[in-house]
Amino acid sequence: MAGGLSTAARLMGGFFEVTGVNHRYLVVIDDERYNLGSWSRVSGLGVTWQVCEYRAGDSNDVFTYVGEPTYSRIRLSRAVCFDSQVVQEWLCQQANRYRPLSGTIQLVDSVGLKIVGWDLKHFFPVGWSVSELDPSHSGVAVETLELAHTGFLHDDVKFSL
């Protein structure tokens, strides 16, 4: 029974060794020019598409087709840590000049190896906050960073003649 879990992992093709742990995310900007460190929570990583309808002439048939994608804002949260200073410096640079950035949110395993990543296009910070700093409440101070972006799918339209 002692080797049961490792035997099961081998039989399942190493499933247990490559599963992303749902509480470790890394945020890297501009090909590692900025590393905002590890985050424990990511929300808003989603996309929806408009549903478009068209009715031609006097026909009662309505044609439905997919429209433009809309991406949600992303909220990153973690306990305040040494990397919080890196975020503050990055926010100061962004406040003084807007430059569209690219970056990656990576889900990593227990040793920090990338399992999957989402490449964000043209993103910028739209909010940052830290939880209430009140000594009468025990708990961890949490910082939250909110990002707007134009997408993470590789859906660029390319025309060829």
Provide the pLDDT for residue 41. 92
pLDDT value at position 119? 92
Whether 140 maps to a domain, the answer reads: yes
| Among the listed residues 43, 51, 101, the one whose alpha carbon sits nearest the alpha carbon of residue 74 | 43
pLDDT of 16 over the 70 cut: no
At residue 22, φ and ψ (nearest 5 deg) are -80, 25
Strands ordered across the beta sheet of 142-148: 34-39, 25-29, 101-108, 114-130, 142-148, 74-79, 41-43
User: For residue range 70-99, what is the model confidence (pLDDT) as tens digits?
Assistant: 999 999 999 999 999 999 998 998 887 777
Q: 149 or 99, which is more confident?
A: 149
Instruction: Report yes or no on 61 lying in a domain.
Output: no
Please tell me the distance from the alpha carbon of residue 90 to that of residue 147, in angstroms, as a whole number: 13
Q: Which residues of 2-17 are buried (b: 16+ CB within 10 A; e: fewer)?
A: eeeeeeeeeeeeeeee
CATH number of the domain at 120, please.
2.30.110.20
Contact in structure between 74 and 96 (CB atoms under 8 Å): no
Look at residue 112 and tell me if it is in a domain.
yes
Predicted local distance difference test score (pLDDT) of residue 22: 57
> With a threshold of 0.85, does the pTM exceed it?
no
- Mean pLDDT, the chain, whole residue set: 81
- pLDDT given at position 127: 95
**Phi, psi of 145, deg, nearest 5:** -120, 130
Q: Higher pLDDT residue, 75 or 8?
A: 75
Residues of the domain holding 24: 20-45+72-148
**How many domains does the chain fold into?**
1
